[in-house]
Amino acid sequence: MLFRSAEFTIGAVRAADLPTNGQPEIAFSGRSNVGKSSLINRLVQRKKLARTSSTPGKTQQLNYYWINGDFYFVDLPGYGFVQGGVGLREKLGRMVQGYVEKREPLRAVLQLIDMRHGPTESDRIMIDWLKGVNTPFLLVFTKADKLSRNKQKGLFDRLESEGTLAGISFVPFSAVSGQGRDDIVEWIEDTLRGDVD
């Protein structure tokens, strides 16, 4: 797929803000600072479309990007740590869950995991929860450039032997080198065609 156009549409803070045109949505979920906005930028080959930051918790709304005049990328609020304390953090978690459970145009979720740490407790809760939801999801292990190929393999071997990855699609990714980008684009194309379940 060629990304011919990509534009920011809306930062949604409540259900009433969400688009009503019914066009398909692909959502990006993961802890704050895991690299959601960087992944979106890498996919569309635009360095500054989605705002990235070394300060975790920058994205506290559902940021919609309108792609190729055809579908949306939705940059979800990061969970785990946000400025504003526990109340807001819980609210963001609920917002993400409510969105994934109820959003009719949602076609797929890319769930990001920081490869340096592997799945944390909150990531494992998200993965288990996604397994029980009907929407297809892809695990994207981010910041792969920070790990040698050997260490990457070691992590996947460990997760495979634990059974964490059983029946799940996953891909290592680096926003710096572009490793994994083409596989992710292909997976997104498949889900938009309805070829993934």
Ligand X SMILES: Nc1nc2c(ncn2[C@@H]2O[C@H](COP(=O)(O)OP(=O)(O)OP(=O)(O)O)[C@@H](O)[C@H]2O)c(=O)[nH]1
* Contacting residues toward ligand X, per CB under 6 A: 30, 32-38, 52-54, 56-59, 78, 142-143, 145-146, 174-176
Residues in the chain: 197
Check residue 145 and report its DSSP letter.
G
Q: Shortest distance, CB of residue 78 to ligand X, whole angstroms?
A: 3
Least Å from the CB of residue 169 to ligand X: 19
Query: Looking at 51-59, 96-104, 116-124, 166-174, which segment touches Mg ion (CB under 5 A)?
Result: 51-59
Using DSSP bridges, classify how beta strands 106-114 and 137-142 pair: parallel, antiparallel or unpaired.
parallel
Residues near Mg ion (CB under 5 A), total: 3
Q: Minimal CB distance to Mg ion: which residue? A: 37
Paired tokens of 178: 């572009």
Tokens matching residue 46: 């635009």
Q: b/e per residue, 126-161, with b = 16+ CB within 10 A? A: bbeebeeeebbbbbbbbbbeebeeeebeebbeebee
* Euclidean distance between CA atoms 194 and 153, whole angstroms: 30
Give the nearer residue to ligand X in terms of CB position, either 38 or 191: 38
Minimum Å gap between C-beta 60 and Mg ion is 9
Residue 63 contacts Mg ion per CB under 5 A: no
Supply the minimum distance, in Å, between the C-beta of residue 139 and ligand X: 15
Residue ranges that bind Mg ion, judged by CB under 5 A: 36-37, 59
